[in-house]
Amino acid sequence: MSSRAAKGMKPEKTVNRYGLGVSSAASIGDFAVEKRKRQILKYISLEGKAILDVGCGNGLYTLTLASLARKAVGVDIRQEVLTEATKNKIKLGRDTGFIRAVAESLPLCNSTFDVVLLVEMLEHVQSQQKTLEEVNRVLKGGGYLIIYVPNKLYPFDVHGLRVGRRSLNGLYGGSMPFFSWCPQFIRKKFERARIYTKGQITRLVESHGFIIQTVDYMYPPLDRLGNRFSKSTLRKIISGFERNRLLKRFGMSLLIVAQK
């Protein structure tokens, strides 16, 4: 789901066989999609709504939510993932549109959508400000903005490091332990994507005229974890973490639900 759309870059593949931080959905039926769907529906209804998924990637979130809404449109800059999204659309038999565009310049009319979704993509865009300005423009008055971004308190940075022109993916097949906890002046030199505290993302969203309705957290869905028994056991443990007011703050992603 993550998109480097606005950078005009080829996507960097993050492979994590341990499932310690992969947030995107690789295939139809991944628990990542179902988990986010359930969390979103805790806070807003999608019935009868028009949804825009910016940085839609392979379209699995777009297509899943489309089954609950009046219509859904996905946007991404990468033609290869939009081709995959179209294949998924055919498999699922959904009437969903996909458009190639950058987040900072959406080829869509003002006040068109009831819900705009940004799932693990804001950290990659060239301009967060322009992206949120565009989101505000295409969102109807009273509409909802749903954002998932990496949580600084989560100890595994799934994006790894950038050293010169080299990318280092860390010890766990993609996750870089404790790099997320480094001071910002260090992260700026080596990070491949932004990371956010609760305060940073809420202030950013509020500065663009949105009213925060909900802040929540999500631990990794563990789709890439191979052992079925371990996966089931860990998901039960994680579910307990997500219900704990203190422990949930160390989740992989921050969820922001805001209203225009």
Question: Which one has a higher pLDDT value, 25 or 243?
Answer: 243
Task: Give the bridge partners for 51, in sequence order.
Answer: 72, 115
pLDDT at 10 over 70: no
Positive or negative, the Cα torsion across 54, 56, 59, 60?
A: negative
Is 3.40.50.150 the CATH number for 5-150+197-259?
yes
**Overall average pLDDT of the 27-51 stretch:** 93
Do residues 225 and 19 make contact, with C-beta atoms less than 8 angstroms apart? yes
| Selection from 91, 95, 89, 88 nearest residue 69 by Cα | 95
CA distances from 71 to 10, 46, 64, 128 (A): 29, 10, 11, 26
For residues 197 and 173, the model is more confident at: 197
Res 175: pLDDT: 62
pLDDT in tens, 224-245: 777 777 889 999 999 999 999 9
Neighbours of 17 (CB within 10 A): 12
Alpha carbon distance 208, 20 (integer Å)? 32
Q: Name the pTM for this structure.
A: 0.86
> How many CB atoms within 10 Å of residue 164?
6
Q: Match 């639900």 to its residue by tokens.
A: 257
User: Is pLDDT at 72 greater than 90 in this prediction?
Assistant: yes
Question: Is the pLDDT score of 15 beyond 70?
Answer: no
Give the tens place of pLDDT for each residue, 75-106: 999 999 999 999 999 999 998 999 999 999 99
Q: Which pLDDT value is given to residue 29? A: 81
pLDDT at 8: 37
pLDDT value, residue 26: 72
Structure confidence by residue, pLDDT tens digits, 190-229: 887 899 999 999 999 999 999 999 999 999 998 877 777 7
Above pLDDT 90, what percent of the chain?
Answer: 67
Q: For the chain, first and last CA: distance in Å?
A: 24
Least confident range of 11-15, 23-27, 65-69: 11-15
pLDDT of 12: 38
Instruction: Determine the pLDDT at residue 169.
Output: 60
Q: Identify the pLDDT of residue 168.
A: 61
Q: What CA–CA distance (Å, rounded) separates 96 from 211?
A: 29
Q: Cβ contacts of residue 220 below 8 Å, gap of 6+?
A: 19, 20, 21, 22, 23, 238, 252
Quote the distance between the C-alpha of residue 175 and its chain's center: 16
Share of the chain above pLDDT 70, in %: 87
For the chain, the structural domain boundaries read 5-150+197-259
**Closest residue by Cα to residue 252 from 230, 219, 228, 227:** 219
